[in-house]
Amino acid sequence: MTGAVKMFRLDLLSMQVYFKSYLVFFLYPLLFAWWEPVGMAVMAGMMLAMLGGSIFSVQEKNKLERLYGMLSISDSSLVAGRYLFLLANCLAIQLVILPLHFAVSRLIGKTPSGSELLFAMGLSYFLFWLQCSYQIPLFIKFGYTKMRIWATAPFIVIALSSVLFTYTLGDALKARGPYLEKAIYYMYINPLQPMLTLIALGTLLGAVSYLISIGAYRSTKRR
Amino acid sequence: MTVPDRQEDKVKIIISNSSPLPIYEQIKQQVKAAILAGELKENEPLPSLRELAKDLKISVLTTMRAYNELEQEGFVTSIQGKGYYVMPRGSQLMQEQFLREVERALEEAVKAAALANISGEQLMEMLKLLLEVE
Amino acid sequence: MSNTLLDVRAVSKNYGSFALRDVSFSIPKGYIMGLIGPNGAGKTTLIHLILNLLRRDSGEILVFGMDNIADDSAIKQQVGVVFDSVPYVEDWKVKDVGKAMSLFYDGWNQSRFLELAEKFRLDMGKKVKELSRGMQTKLMLACALAHEAKLLILDEPTSGMDPVARDELMDMLRQYIADGEKSVLFSTHITSDLERAADFITYIRNGQLFFTGPTDEFLDEWRLLKGGRNDLTNELREKIVGLREHHAGFDGLVKAKDFPVPPDGCVLDQASIEDIMLYTAKEAMPS
């Protein structure tokens, strides 16, 4: 078993006892079933990233750096394991939320198409990495408590403003930008290419973030 | 946990906190006494260094010092990988040590006698009486 | 492999308002070394440096003959650590702790862990935060011993432990080194624990090495001098460390070699480790 997988399993064990905090994710399909899957995905992506902070919170609260420090594992494997864990979180939750959203939507008479759901998954994955690639190095370098606000604030702002945008400017755009509407329509119909692009972009962001995080982790030892 | 019965368990060593002597000296003295009294016989093994340290709750270096000095003084000899063994009583070094011990004890007696204003003849008498009792 | 399990050479670390300067000591295999010094002297910093939790500014640290940074992973397989507080998730149960540790140690012996847990009366189903301080320390010890560690490092393990638990711990440590192949580094400010168990002492003050060597040597170097106020000559004053004058007389620490016999009217006593620390702490010592 490589070091990264060991670390992944350790993170799993660390968060297992706090599993209840994950259950809130099952509420989303119930609350937002009336919403477009895309909108749901946006929210999911945001919340996933906020959930990602919890492993750092647990780490800081229990001062697990001392545990990590005494274990036989390289810095890069340790950070890789953490990324693996967060990624697994993202995938696992998406695999739960989106089918659930599908099921609940059907119940209330709205049936999202498969392609909409696919696109939503890709978007959610991308948004997850958009946030995490920015947050993780900060959490590693400065700790959870200090960075909590800085890490989530930008995205709450984005989330709120995109909701506003949809309701106020959305109509104006529709009038002005038939191309924009067509583009979004196009994405709904043929989600595969945009989805793959989003997945690739997201993964790229994650990879760059990983490299930065290794440096951040090493610098914490130079204190 | 029951302690298995072994040959080297027959020796008795007790550390006293109230004794003015350092611990390694106490160990030395008691081992020498045991040899003198015949409780520790020729070629018998001493308790292993580390076991003794553990049993007496003292540091390993302390027992090591005691054993090393006993070896230098000729009471025991160490065999690589096996431990420490009692030297034959007839060995010259041991005899010399015993002689010195006796000399020292006699010196103490002479000093004490002088302090108490006991004359040399009185001292000799006392010695003769004691020897008879022995 | 040589006989030295831990070799700290001229290690320095600047750490904000505090600095460790040029500290050197080593532990041969099969012995217990006590690391002593007042709080804030640098003991924990030193331990963190040895464990590569902090990066040193200069010097070398060799564990099992290997550089502690370059061979960090290999070294850590064989090092057991007991911190002054548990480095585990507080909501973990004892069995979860074992599970977590087992992931990382090739030499993890689960049955030994269970054996030790039973011996220490650790309830597998109890959460870490529900354990008393002493039990938490025993948990850390059980983990350290269950993976065949050759070097055991303990940072203030006995603060908060009752005398019975402390005695049990010291017995465990003696048992641990009994085969002559493993060593212990034990940092504490409860020096009575070390008095009869430590083979070596390393004394750190204000980030500097004050003494390192066999315990007996440390104790033989000093004596406690006590006398009446009139016995305190100026000449004597100069030789006394941590002089304390009171109504009934004076006391202080002196070098044994300066006083083969007590001066007139005075008494010379053995000094305990604690005595030496107390009196040397009272003044800035010239070397």
For the cut 60, the answer to whether the pLDDT of residue C148 exceeds it is: yes
Nearest to B59 among C171, C179, C198 (CB): C198
8-37 in B: which are within 8 Å (CB) of C? 22-24
Residues A85 and A52: beta-carbon distance below 8 Å: no
Please give the average per-residue pLDDT across C27-54, as a whole number: 92
Q: Same structural domain for residues B36 and B66?
A: yes
Q: Same structural domain for residues B97 and B115?
A: yes
State which residues form the domain around B26: 7-86
Angle at B18 between CA B17 and CA B23, to 5 degrees: 45
- Residue C252 within a domain: yes
Q: Same structural domain for residues B65 and B102?
A: no
| pLDDT score at C28 | 96
Distance CA A26, CA C140 (A): 38
Phi, psi dihedrals of residue C137, rounded to the nearest 5°: -65, -40
Q: Same structural domain for residues B99 and B43?
A: no
- Residue B36 within a domain: yes
Q: Same structural domain for residues C67 and C138?
A: yes
Distance CA A49, CA C192 (A): 52
The distance in angstroms from the start CA to the end CA of chain B is 42
Q: Same structural domain for residues C53 and C149?
A: yes
For the cut 90, the answer to whether the pLDDT of residue C24 exceeds it is: yes
Q: Same structural domain for residues C21 and C95?
A: yes
Q: Same structural domain for residues B77 and B123?
A: no
Q: Same structural domain for residues B73 and B105?
A: no
| pLDDT score at C198 | 94
Q: Same structural domain for residues C109 and C176?
A: yes
46-75 in B: which are within 8 Å (CB) of C? 50-51, 53-54, 57-62, 65
Which of C161, C186, C213 is where one domain is finished? C213
Angle at B116 between CA B113 and CA B120, to 5 degrees: 35
What is the DSSP secondary-structure string of A2-42? -HHHHHHHHHHHHHHTTTHHHHGGGHHHHHHTTS-HHHHHH
Q: Same structural domain for residues B82 and B97?
A: no
Q: Same structural domain for residues B11 and B72?
A: yes
Nearest CA in chain C to B60: C199
Contacts of C171 in chain B (CB under 8 A): 54, 57
Distance CA C49, CA C153 (A): 12
Q: Do B57 and C180 touch (CB under 8 A)?
A: no
Q: Same structural domain for residues C183 and C248?
A: no
CA atoms within 13 A on the CB side of C197: 29
Residues A93 and A85: beta-carbon distance below 8 Å: no
For the cut 70, the answer to whether the pLDDT of residue C193 exceeds it is: yes
For the cut 60, the answer to whether the pLDDT of residue A172 exceeds it is: no
Tokens representing residue A6 in the block: 């060991």
Identify the bridge partners of residue C66 per DSSP, sorted by sequence position. C63
Contacts of C91 in chain A (CB under 8 A): 17-18
| Chain A with chain C: Cβ pairs closer than 8 A | 70
Identify the bridge partners of residue C186 per DSSP, sorted by sequence position. C34, C154
Q: Do C87 and A70 touch (CB under 8 A)?
A: yes
Q: Do B54 and C198 touch (CB under 8 A)?
A: no
Phi, psi dihedrals of residue A97, rounded to the nearest 5°: -65, -50
Find the Cα–Cα–Cα–Cα dihedral C82, C86, C91, C96, rounded to 10°: -10
User: What does the pLDDT look like over A5-31, one tens digit per residue?
Assistant: 999 999 999 998 888 777 776 676 666
Q: How far is CA C212 from the centre of its chain?
A: 12
Identify the bridge partners of residue C14 per DSSP, sorted by sequence position. C19
User: What does the pLDDT look like over A51-88, one tens digit per residue?
Assistant: 778 899 999 999 999 999 999 999 999 999 999 999 99
Contacts of C223 in chain B (CB under 8 A): none
- Residue C39 within a domain: yes
Q: How confident is the model at residue C287 (pLDDT cuts 50, 70, 90)?
A: very low
Give the pairing of strands C241-246 and C267-270.
unpaired
- Residue C286 within a domain: no
**How many domains, chain B?**
2
Q: Same structural domain for residues B80 and B57?
A: yes
- Å between B102 CA and nearest CA of chain C: 25
Which of C213, C244, C269 is where one domain is finished? C213
Q: To probe the interface with C, which of A70, A73, A76 has the most C CB atoms within 10 Å? A: A70
Residues 6+ apart with CB under 8 A from A80: A3, A4, A7, A210
User: What does the pLDDT look like over B10-69, one tens digit per residue?
Assistant: 678 888 877 778 889 999 999 988 887 778 888 888 998 998 998 898 999 999 999 999
How many C-beta atoms lie closer than 10 Å to residue C185's C-beta? 26
Give the pairing of strands C267-270 and C222-227.
antiparallel
Q: Same structural domain for residues C227 and C123?
A: no
Mean pLDDT check: name the lowest of A169-183, B116-130, C164-178: A169-183
User: What does the pLDDT look like over A112-134, one tens digit per residue?
Assistant: 677 777 777 888 888 888 888 88
- Residue B1 within a domain: no
Distance CA A46, CA A198 (A): 15
Q: Same structural domain for residues C246 and C173?
A: no
Q: Do C199 and B51 touch (CB under 8 A)?
A: no
Distance CA B53, CA B60 (A): 5
Q: Same structural domain for residues B12 and B42?
A: yes
Tokens representing residue C108 in the block: 């993890």
Percent of chain B at pLDDT > 70 equals: 90
Q: Same structural domain for residues C42 and C162?
A: yes
Q: How many helices (H) and strands (E) does chain C have?
A: 10, 14
Tokens representing residue C251 in the block: 């006391």
Which of B67, B86, B105 is where one domain is finished? B86
- Residue B65 within a domain: yes
**How many domains, chain C?**
2
- Residue C53 within a domain: yes
Better pLDDT: C117 or A92:
C117
Q: Is C59 left (phi over 0), alpha (psi -120 to 50) or beta?
A: left
Nearest to C214 among B53, B57, B61 (CB): B61
DSSP letter, residue B5 = P
- Residue C129 within a domain: yes
Q: Same structural domain for residues C72 and C151?
A: yes
Domain holding C88: CATH number? 3.40.50.300
Q: Same structural domain for residues B80 and B100?
A: no
pTM for this model (two decimals): 0.84
Give the closest residue to C273 by CA, choosing from C170, C201, C184, C210: C201
Residues C174 and C190: beta-carbon distance below 8 Å: no
Give the closest residue to C52 by CA, choosing from B46, A79, A69, B37: A69
Question: In this structure, which amino acid lies at residue B50?
Answer: R
Q: Same structural domain for residues C66 and C173?
A: yes
Residues B44 and B76: beta-carbon distance below 8 Å: no
- Å between C199 CA and nearest CA of chain B: 5
Which of C167, C195, C213 is where one domain is finished? C213
Q: Same structural domain for residues C114 and C133?
A: yes
- Residue B2 within a domain: no
Q: How confident is the model at residue A180 (pLDDT cuts 50, 70, 90)?
A: low
Please provide the average confidence, as pLDDT, over all residues in chain C: 91
Identify the bridge partners of residue C81 per DSSP, sorted by sequence position. C153
Residues 6+ apart with CB under 8 A from B81: none
- Residue C110 within a domain: yes
| Chain B with chain C: Cβ pairs closer than 8 A | 43
Q: Same structural domain for residues B25 and B81?
A: yes
Q: Do A13 and C81 touch (CB under 8 A)?
A: no
Distance CA C150, CA C157 (A): 18
State which residues form the domain around C30: 4-213
Nearest to C76 among A6, A62, A70 (CB): A70
| pLDDT score at A126 | 85
Question: Could you tell me which chains touch chain C, where touching means 3 or more CB pairs under 8 A?
Answer: A, B
C70: contact with A, CB 8 A cutoff: no
Q: Do B50 and C177 touch (CB under 8 A)?
A: yes
- Residue C191 within a domain: yes
Q: Same structural domain for residues C104 and C161?
A: yes
C73: contact with A, CB 8 A cutoff: yes
Nearest CA in chain C to A18: C91
